[in-house]
Structure 1
Amino acid sequence: MTQFTSRRIMNKHYAQGVISELQHLGYPCEQAKAAFFRHYRDMKRTFGLEPNVSEFAKLIHEFEIAMERKYNPNDPNHILVDHLQQQVKTKK
Structure 2
Amino acid sequence: MKRLTIGIDFDDTFTADPDLWRRFIGDAQRSGHVVVCVTARREPPDFSRSPRLPDSVQIVCAGQDWKRHAAARAGFNVDIWIDDIPSLIEPSRVLDFGQ
Q: TM-score, normalised by structure 2?
A: 0.23
Q: Which has the higher contact order (CA 8 A, sep 6+)?
A: 2
Larger radius of gyration, structure 1 or 2? 1
Q: Flag the structure with higher strand content.
A: 2
Q: Flag the structure with higher helix content.
A: 1
